Every structure is written in C-alpha cells, then in structure tokens.
Amino acid sequence: GAVVSQHPSRVICKSGTSVKIECRSLDFQATTMFWYRQFPKKSLMLMATSNEGSKATYEQGVEKDKFLINHASLTLSTLTVTSAHPEDSSFYICSASGWREFNEQFFGPGTRLTVL
C-alpha cells in the first residue's frame, strides 16, 4: 500500500511557458498532499500544503500565483508552474498522507524540471 505516482518524471520547457505536474495516490485516499522543491545536495523545501476541496496553504516566500496548486480529489493534486523561468529549474516532489496515520508522508518519484 501507500503508492504515490507523479507525472511527468522529466520535463524541459522554454521560458514563459507553463508546466503542470500531477501527483496521484494510487491505492489510498490522501487527506493531505504536500509539494516540495529540492535543490541539488539540499534538503526538501516545503512549498505548500493542500487539502482536498480547499485552497492550498503556501509557505512564506512561495508565490501562489506562480505555483498554482489544485487538489480536486482525494487522489489527485496538481502543481502548475506558470510563466516558467530558468530559476524555476529544480526537482519537484509531492507527498501524500492519510494511508494509516495522518502524519506519515509517502512520496512520489519526483519531477525534474528544466527551463531553458
């Protein structure tokens, strides 16, 4: 149990375009999903927390108009990087909780975004 998928695994895009990343919990209903960004050789940086049917809670310094998060169902959350710039290039990882205990988080495989 507790399988989380993420798509796409890699994406290369031009500056100014938007990129959508999907995160799905495959075998459980995720009460909460989290979006992280990870720079090389660094820890995970929480960007936002999303609960199904409500607006995401963004961490300080994360632009909500740039990183749009939608949590339409208990198994799907999406992150859209709007008007991407090279500095948005990073490894984006989602996680989901709700499989057994609320604070256990299970991670998707991540999305490597490269903005040219």
Partner 1 sequence: GENVEQHPSTLSVQEGDSAVIKCTYSDSASNYFPWYKQELGKRPQLIIDIRSNVGEKKDQRIAVTLNKTAKHFSLHITETQPEDSAVYFCAASTSNYQLIWGAGTKLIIKP
- Decide: is 102 part of the binding site for partner 1 (CB under 8 A): yes
> Is residue 6 classed exposed, middle or buried when 0-12, 13-18 and 19+ CB atoms within 10 A define those classes?
buried
CB 93 within 8 A of CB 108: yes
Contacting range for partner 1; rule: CB under 8 A; set: 15-23, 38-46, 63-71, 77-85: 38-46
Return the structure tokens found at 76. Answer: 């799907």
Could you write out the three-class secondary structure of 60-110? CCCCCCCEEEEEEECCEEEEEECCCCHHHCEEEEEEEECCCCCCCCEECCC
Q: For residue 35, which of 64, 9, 69, 66 has the smallest C-alpha distance? A: 69
Contact with partner 1 (CB under 8 A) among 25, 50, 77, 97: 97
Q: How many residues bind partner 1 (CB under 8 A)?
A: 21
- Decide: is 110 part of the binding site for partner 1 (CB under 8 A): yes
Contacting range for partner 1; rule: CB under 8 A; set: 17-25, 69-77, 79-87, 108-116: 108-116
- Decide: is 107 part of the binding site for partner 1 (CB under 8 A): yes
Contact with partner 1 (CB under 8 A) among 44, 62, 68, 76: 44
- Decide: is 27 part of the binding site for partner 1 (CB under 8 A): no
Which positions lie near partner 1, rule CB under 8 A? 32, 34, 42-44, 46, 49, 91, 93, 97, 101-110, 112
